[in-house]
Structure 1
Amino acid sequence: MKKINLLFLCYASIFCACKQERPKTEDLSEKLKGSWQLLSATTTEKGKQTITDFTKDQSMIKIINDSHFSFLRHSLSKQAGTGEGFDAGGGRYSIKGDAYTEFLDFYKDKNWEGKTFAFKVSFAGDTLIQTGIEKVPEAGVDHVITEKYLRIREK
Structure 2
Amino acid sequence: MLKYLVGITCVFVAHVTEAHPLEGSWQFVKGEYYSEGQVLYAEAPDVTSVKVLSGGHFNYITQKNGEFHYAAGGRYEITEDAFIEHVDYGNIPSLLGKQLVFDYEIKEQLWHHTLYQEGELVEYEVWQRVAQ
TM range, normalised to the smaller chain?
0.7 to 0.9
Show CA shifts across 1:89-136 (max 9, x none): 10001111021110000111222211111111101110000101368x
SS at match of 1:149: strand
CA contact (8 A) 2:89 2:96 kept: yes
CA deviation after TM superposition for structure 1 residue 31, in Å = 0.6
2:27 corresponds in structure 1 to 37
Show CA shifts across 1:29-76 (max 9, x none): 6110010001111122344332111x1223101000120110011244
User: RMSD of the TM alignment (CA)?
Assistant: 2.2
SS at match of 1:30: coil
- Whole-Å separation in 2 of the counterparts to 1:86 and 1:144: 19
CA contact (8 A) 2:57 2:76 kept: yes
Q: Do residues 99 (structure 1) and 82 (structure 2) align?
A: yes
1:150 corresponds in structure 2 to 128
CA contact (8 A) 1:134 1:145 kept: no
Work out the number of aligned pairs and report it.
113
TM superposition score normalised by structure 1: 0.65
Gaps of 5+ in 1: 1-28, 78-83, 136-141
Write the letter of the residue equivalent to 1:50: L
Percent of aligned pairs with the same amino acid: 25
CA contact (8 A) 2:72 2:89 kept: yes
| Equivalent residue for 2:61, pick from 72, 84, 90 | 72
SS at match of 1:152: strand
Sort the Cα spacing of 1:132 and 1:85 in 2 relative to 1 into closer, same or farther, 3 A: same
1:49 corresponds in structure 2 to 39
Sort the Cα spacing of 1:134 and 1:38 in 2 relative to 1 into closer, same or farther, 3 A: farther
TM superposition score normalised by structure 2: 0.75
- The structure richer in strand per residue is 2
CA contact (8 A) 1:36 1:61 kept: yes
- Whole-Å separation in 1 of the counterparts to 2:82 and 2:24: 18
- Whole-Å separation in 2 of the counterparts to 1:30 and 1:91: 18
* Off by >6 Å, runs of 4+ in structure 1: none
Write the letter of the residue equivalent to 1:90: G
